Amino acid sequence: MAAKNWILSRVYAALESVFGTDPDSTGAAYKFLKVLPDSTWQPTMDVIPRPALINDMTRLPHVMGSKSGKLSLKVELKGSATAASNGVAAIAAEADGLLQAIMGTVVRGTGDLVQAGSTTTVINVVTGASFSKYMMVMIDCGATYGFVPRFITSISSNALTLDRALPATPGTGVAIHASSKYTRANTGHQSLAIAAYRDDILYTFLGCKVDSAKLSGISARGTAILDVQLSVTDWNTTAKGSIPSAVPSGITNAKAPVVKGSCFAIGGTEEYAHTLEFDFGTKFEFQDSTCGLGPAVPDSTNTGQQLTAAEPKGSVSPYYASSHLTDHIAATERSLMFATPGTGVAWGIYVPKAQWTGPEFEDHNGMVTEKMPFMVNDNGTDPEYALCVC
């Protein structure tokens, strides 16, 4: 028999409206994910041993328990390739389903135009309600600077206050692009269905919960990678006759922004940094039950999932500044901001209140930098951080 080809692999994802239930058995509602080659998946089933004393040194046959499995998916973090320009709502990007499963809440802004009276820190628009607090926006600052990313820290009617000053005052009538803003919910997260192929070998994984989610690869010459680890409730090998094409097009064909010209700011002041990592810190648990999903799904022991803890954190490596250790010793909370430039594919993250947990000197190409781990603190009724793509 002919061997199967490992490189002929592809992955699709869909959010489940009902836990553990295939959102579309035909596959038509699934979205193609252009995952990295080191993404992995494995269906498993519990092996229940049956030890006993039978006056012999031998093993009794085991019985099979519940289905399970593990997936490791890595995708580029990027926008949809379509800018949310004037009157255009932000379009869900390739990683949208994964980000919704991790975070739970998404708000899609609508692009607008800059109005008269704007400054480098306050932008007047036609409709302030098209945006939301902590949303990243891309503002046209002319031929010298192009579209510049900033985060909205407050909205008063149609006036948007930015996290720090723009390099130039935008002209009246120029574009301001909106983004999709993801923030963490306490409850109500949707589970995922993943259809994964190795050549023509298909496994559909259902009731998938996020075990961990991190952003990595953020360096001066890198691209950001969303690394998501998942656990599985149920799986099957039923064919999907209407699965979309795996040929990259539209959002999957968008090129992730290389992290160059990407500014980092501490407390509203830009600094140079050569590396950044972020851990979403969510902890989901399955709600297991003797009945599971009922007699129609006999090999499942999970009835749902629940977010049980959240401890977002990260690490950044800026060049040495005495203020870093001063802030650490004083337990000072600072805002952190990072964003890539460009239109249509940009992304950024904003943390209103972060605390350093212990700076360490680094030798970076013979220069003094500091590895600065940070924790993300409570921010009252506002989100403790926001991840945006636009």
The 10s digit of each residue's pLDDT in 262-276 is 999 999 999 999 999
Q: What is the pLDDT averaged over residues 140-164? A: 97
> Is the model's pLDDT at 1 over the cut of 90?
no
| Mean pLDDT estimate for the chain | 97
User: Contact at 8 Å (CB) between 226 and 98?
Assistant: yes
Taking the CB of residue 36, how many other CB atoms lie within 10 A of it? 15
Contact assessment for residue 154 and residue 161, using Cβ atoms and an 8 Å cutoff: yes
Contacts of 35 (CB under 8 A, 6+ apart): 11, 73, 74, 75
C-alpha angle 158-161-167 in degrees, rounded to nearest 5: 120
pLDDT value at residue 342: 82
Mean pLDDT throughout 63-69?
96
Query: In the prediction, which pLDDT does 220 show?
Result: 87
d(CA 224, CA 217): 5
Q: pLDDT of 8-18, one tens digit each?
A: 999 999 999 99
Global pTM?
Answer: 0.95
% of the chain with per-residue pLDDT over 90: 97
Residue 221 confidence (pLDDT) above 90? no
Q: Do 326 and 372 contact (CB within 8 A), yes or no?
A: no
